[in-house]
């Protein structure tokens, strides 16, 4: 089946860090839905595995005293989709994770693994980036926190050392209060398919004005990306059909799609402008806004 040279199951974060530190070739496995597929297809060779799947302290969805939402990396997509807190406070995330794989995959796949795998098609990435999420990383020298947006360095590259573990995903209260969002995934099939383009928008509106907008795309650049140029241009404007057209016309200047076997660059650009219009429109409507 798989010819590992060694396999260790860690019972705590500290033990996992220690096991990784003991062997520079060791690699973490969580739900295994990316790793085992890569191994099966011979796309990667990991001889030494450290399994963190049973570390209970990494599987949680909670709020701290400041009402920030904190998600453990071992939380499965089924748990995220069924969380009352997430469905109530940040439904754009549960909307996105319900498009991932099928029920069996969602039971095994973890949100931490989705981010750490580092692919631009990670469907949990754009809603979290649109919510200004931060990640906590632990290693032998202690822990550090960084914006999720900066965590992605390139295709399959993330800001993690070999013996480091992502231990928390945090969305602070001010980044989700009074914000409403929408997610759309364009893929060739309705289910069991990887994104050709993923799009998330969250907005805050007030008295017919777009007070704030955060717009993020997956597979529109080598990493999941925010459209900050467009956001800055439309923040504070009156909500109108022209506003949506201007957003759609402006996003090409924020993205860098490429041609791959899934879609040509021009086709992706077409989808990006169409989704920018549609997804922002849906986010405004879910905020109780009208577009006239
Ligand atoms: C049939 C199928 C359909 C799929 N469909 C989709 C889809 O529609 N959308 C989508 O986005 N993905 C999809 N995936 C991909 C996959 O399910 C997800 O990326 C999943 O979230 C990976 O999580 P995991 O726990 O299984 O990761 P693993 O395979 O265990 O690990 C993935 C990578 O992340 C690292 N890692 C995991 N956890 C941590 C941590 N806490 N700290 C540091 N590093 C860590 C591992 O070392 C490894 O490099 C699909 C996969 C399959 C098999």
Any residues with CB less than 8 A from the CB of 191 and at least 6 apart, and which?
99, 102
Task: Please list, in sequence order, all residues whose beta carbon lies within 8 angstroms of the beta carbon of residue 205, skipping any fewer than 6 positions away.
Answer: 180, 211, 239, 284, 287, 288, 289
Cβ–ligand 1 distance for 166 under 6 Å, the answer: yes
Instruction: Look at the domain 57-174 and name its fold.
Output: 3.30.465
Residue 261 burial by CB count (10 A; 0-12/13-18/19+): exposed, middle or buried?
A: exposed
Q: What does the alpha-carbon distance between residue 247 and residue 234 come to, in Å, rounded to a whole number?
A: 7
Answer yes or no: is the C-beta of 139 below 6 A from any ligand 1 atom. no
Cβ of 79 closer than 6 Å to ligand 1, yes or no, is no
Alpha helices in 235-264 (DSSP H): 241-250
Spacing, Cα 278 to ligand 1 middle (Å): 28
Q: Measured in angstroms, how far is the CA atom of residue 242 from the centroid of ligand 1?
A: 39
Query: Domain residue spans in the chain?
Result: 6-51, 57-174, 179-286
**Longest CA pairwise span in the chain (Å):** 63
Q: Whose CA is nearest to atom 8 of ligand 1?
A: 100
CA distances from 28 to 50, 75, 181, 243, 276 (A): 5, 16, 33, 45, 36
Is-contact 113 128, C-beta < 8 A? no
Q: Considering only CA atoms, which residue is closest to atom 38 of ligand 1? A: 113
The confidence score (pLDDT) of residue 1 equals: 66
Contact between residue 131 and residue 202 where contact means Cβ atoms under 8 Å apart = yes
Q: State the DSSP code for 221.
A: S
pLDDT at 114: 98
218 CB under 6 A from ligand 1?
no
Q: Two tokens at 198?
A: 């993923």
> Beta 61-63 vs 180-186: how paired, if at all?
unpaired
141, 145, 78, 64: which is closest to 109 by C-alpha? 78
29 alpha carbon to ligand 1 midpoint, in Å? 9
CA 287-288-292 angle, to 5 degrees, is 110
Give, in order, the Cα–Cα distances in Å from 15 to each of 9, 163, 245: 9, 11, 53
pTM of this prediction exceeds 0.85 = yes
Question: How far apart are alpha carbons 238 and 234 in whole angstroms?
Answer: 9
* pLDDT value of position 39: 85
Per-residue pLDDT in tens (0 to 9) along the chain, 292 residues: 677 889 999 999 999 999 999 999 999 999 999 999 888 887 777 889 999 999 999 999 999 999 999 999 999 999 999 999 999 999 999 999 999 999 999 999 999 999 999 999 999 999 999 999 999 999 999 999 999 999 999 999 999 999 999 999 999 999 999 999 999 999 999 889 999 999 999 999 999 999 999 999 999 999 999 999 999 999 999 999 999 999 999 999 999 999 999 999 999 999 999 999 999 999 999 999 999 8
User: Is CATH 3.40.190.10 what the domain over 179-286 is classified as, yes or no?
Assistant: no
β partners of residue 198: 185, 218
The minimum-distance atom of ligand 1 relative to the CA of 108 is 26
Q: Give yes or no for a contact between 258 and 219, defined as CB atoms under 8 angstroms apart.
A: no
Residue with CA nearest ligand 1 atom 9: 100
Cβ of 122 below 6 Å from ligand 1:
yes
C-alpha 183 to ligand 1 mean position (Å) = 20
Among protein residues, the one whose CA lies closest to atom 41 of ligand 1: 166
Q: What share of the chain is helix, strand, coil (3-state, %, to 5)?
A: 35, 25, 40
Three-state DSSP at 173 gives helix
Q: Six-digit token pair at 206?
A: 């007030």
CATH of domain 6-51: 3.30.43.10
Helix (H) or strand (E) holding 96: helix 91-97
């Amino acid at each position: 089946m798989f010819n590992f040279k060694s396999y260790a199951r860690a019972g705590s974060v500290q033990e996992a860090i220690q096991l990784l530190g003991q062997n520079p070739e060791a690699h973490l496995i969580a739900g295994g839905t990316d790793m085992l597929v890569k191994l099966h297809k011979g796309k990667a060779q990991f001889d030494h595995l450290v399994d963190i799947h049973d570390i209970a302290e990494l599987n949680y969805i909670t709020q701290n005293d400041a009402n920030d939402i904190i998600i453990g990396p071992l939380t499965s997509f089924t748990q995220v989709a069924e969380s009352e807190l997430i469905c109530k406070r940040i439904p754009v995330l549960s909307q996105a994770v319900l498009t991932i794989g099928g029920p069996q995959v969602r039971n095994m796949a973890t949100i931490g693994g989705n981010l750490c795998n580092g692919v631009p098609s990670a469907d949990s990435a754009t809603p979290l980036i649109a919510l200004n999420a931060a990640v906590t990383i632990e290693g032998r020298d202690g822990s550090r926190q960084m914006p999720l947006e900066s965590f992605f360095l390139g295709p399959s590259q993330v800001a993690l050392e070999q013996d480091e573990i992502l231990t928390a995903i945090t969305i602070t209260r001010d980044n989700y209060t009074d914000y409403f969002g929408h997610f759309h995934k364009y893929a060739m099939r309705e289910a069991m398919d990887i994104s050709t383009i993923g799009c998330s928008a969250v907005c805050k509106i007030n008295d017919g004005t777009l007070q704030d907008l955060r717009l993020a795309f997956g597979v529109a650049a080598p990493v999941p990306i925010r459209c900050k140029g467009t956001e800055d241009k439309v923040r504070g404007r009156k909500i109108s059909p022209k506003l949506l057209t201007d957003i759609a016309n402006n996003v090409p200047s924020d993205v860098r799609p490429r041609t791959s076997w899934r879609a040509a660059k021009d086709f992706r650009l077409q989808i990006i402008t169409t989704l920018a219009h549609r997804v922002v429109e849906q986010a405004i409507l879910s905020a109780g806004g009208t577009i006239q």
